Structure 1
Amino acid sequence: MLFSYIIFKLASSALMQTNQIAANILSVSQLNQQVRRLLEHSLGTVWLEGEISNFSTPFSGHWYFSLKDHSAQVRCAMFKNSNRKVVFKPESGMQVLLKAKITMYEPRGDYQLIVEAIHPAGDGAMQQAYEQLKMKLAGEGLFAEAEKQALPAYPSSIGIISSASGAALQDILSVLARRAPAIRVIVYPVSVQGELAVPQLIKMIQIANQRQEVDLLVVGRGGGSKEDLWAFNDEVLARAIFDSRIPVISAVGHEVDDSISDLVADVRAATPSAAAEMISQQATHIAQGITHFKQQLVQLSLHEFRRQQIRLVQLENTLTTLSPLHLLEQQQQRFDELEHRLRFAISQQQLQGRERQSGLKQRLKHALLERKITQQQQRIDEQTRRLISASQTTLNQHQHLLAGACRQLDNLSPLKVLDRGFSLVTHQQQLVKQASQLKAGDVINVKFSDGNLTATVNHQ
């Protein structure tokens, strides 16, 4: 007995170890998935500088290449939605600075870089500073949509913070004079490039907020080189725009130019002229807006009227469906269906019995003598009589049950209750169960077994 117990324990221990080993076995796909997650979560986004090699652009529009230095290389992929923003065409042998996320291409088990941004190595330092500040301010929530202020729908006065002699100011004034001449314009002149640009821009934003004389601020300038536009990538200026209690539109350079001011402002305009059109569009479309709202109101009223009509029809159909008479008809139909199924089942049993009887006769004709055939015929006749008697008994029982159920349903019918001298009182199509439901002057409907009458309550 002890020996058997020891053998059992050893076998159980070996089985548990085998199960544990099996539970820890990974497929190749599972291993690659875990390695990819470790790479993405541990290293995240990196900046790399190196030389492009094996650059290719398949029909999909994605870019695939390797980035190498004197002793190593790594595979890179830059998808179409990212590379369409690149303003130059990379080539093999070109030195570049790129921003990428580390991941793994699971089908091959190779780790690679998913490139988000790429720049020629010569522009790397300035672009890297721009990207680092952009990531810092984004992390602090300065670019969040929830922090942005809505522009006033109908501004009466706007402030323009730009160069007094620049083309950007003239473009804005020209558009406003043509599209919205009633809007008052206040110019806050500043330098838009060079060492004085940032402090002057910040000072004018603060002055405009102190005076509270405008509903909206436009901060910007015309196009230029990256160095000319660099003042609008200043961190202190970005925070001044973010802290402004007056909504700010940033209109720096042309549509392809991006700046920190564009990201932190409440609204970014592609050009100074676009900012002016954005401001004045409400003034030119007020009448159209009123007409549109009037049409919408009429359409909504018609829609609500039709919806209520449909709802009324649905309620009427529901009331008809839930009436006692309708429910009684449904139950009667159900009983008729059950009776039909019962009769069909009995007839099928009889048919199967006759078919079995015929089969037995055929077998007996070929296997037994005439005497045995006669004996079996007598036995079959007896079984037939018993089957018919049992079927008739079963049919009578089910008919009796069906008749009882019909009598019970008939006794429960509200119409039957009316035949015994009772009546139904309703007020506004609601059944009156208590006298407290009525008050003097209420019109009620009384239903008897042979008709209805209407009465008025004299006192409670």
Structure 2
Amino acid sequence: MPQPHILQVSELTKKVKFILESELNYVWLCGEITNFVAASSGHWYLSLKDKNSQVKCAMFKGNNRRVRITPKNGQQVLVKAKVSLYEPRGDFQLIIELMEEAGEGLLRQQYEQLKQQLNAQGLFSQQYKQAIPQSPKTIGVITSPSGAAIKDILSVLKRRNPSINVIIYPALVQGELAKHELVRAIATANARNECDVLIIGRGGGSLEDLWAFNEEIVVKAIFDCQIPVISAIGHEIDTTLSDYVADSRAATPSAAAELVSSDSSELIHRLMMFNKRIYQQTVNTLSKASQRYQYLLHRLNLTHPEQRLKKHQQQADELNLRLNKLLDEKVKFARYPLEQLQQRLSLASPLTTINAQQSQLTHINQRLKMAMHNQLSKQQNEFAHIIEQLHLVSPLATIARGYSVTRNQQGKIIAHVNDVKVDESISVQLRGGCLQAKVTKVTAG
């Protein structure tokens, strides 16, 4: 048996990168920014995620200078990116070339996706187109009865061919309910089968304003309609999916009215047919040329020094991030012994001892004050007790019980009757005051 060819890792990554870039080429992607890093080289590195998956992305400074928003984590964006592989790590990644905020950009992405889906189903195929009648007698119009489109159509028809009958099938042409009303109006016109051609349209507006005509149910309703349909939606620059599926497209509602009311309608129809064929052939030719161009451009990119430079710059940015992380860890590791020494020094510092002694001195001072207060209270209590005892033996206390104290003129207490003489002045101290008296008689007891 032949020996299998054994690949080197670098050979495998190159082959996978070639397959990814040649098969998928460019993609539009909507997602939430996470892990955003603006490197010092000017390049951006980030990941785009939804609720189930995420993919790494890089946007080089030559492209991110044209971005009108400031990317940040958690932001919803729409990007145009090239599918690639970062060979040194074998990581699948996207190289972003365009970035814009999600919103109308998301609608445009949905528009393109639905367009491709419906085109793949054959709804836009030329073989299903019906011929527009040359001289229709009755024309059906699906639009808002109060809008400018119906006024323009009626004005043109009245001017060019007043004999044509017009049946209006009213429907909303903007908002959430518009798609259901448009489908209902198309079904009504198809069921009644009372008109030769059907014009569906409205005035101009933004992509969001015209979105009802991009809804899949509206497109399929037009495709299933048995009556030839002319789309006349917006202005000439506005293009909806209803324009692709309709049997004919008019640039404006007025142009649609001219198309169905003019004698030259067959010529116009043939010219439109030729125009579509030329357009299709041109698109096919351009598509082949574009594929050839992309193939040659891919081969050129593989050997272009700029690609190698970008790869090396990305490697340098990655190494720089790793170096910064390593330095942070080294610094953190080196700080740990220093923090331990500072902690030990703090424990051995005289300030710690002083603070402890100050705390102890404060505690002793509080105890001393408490002891002095207790001692003073005790002595005050003892003093009060002595005062109370002294009061008990005081002459004043005796006087207060009804007794008296007698003194001679010298202020000495007269303790015996023999201590006084007749006609001697004495003072008698009683409760509440003092009496002055003179001895008139002395009687021994």
Q: What interval of TM-score do these two structures reach, taking the shorter chain for normalisation?
A: 0.3 to 0.5
| Structure of larger gyration radius | 2
Given the two structures, how large is their TM-score scaled by the length of structure 2? 0.44
Given the two structures, how large is their TM-score scaled by the length of structure 1? 0.43
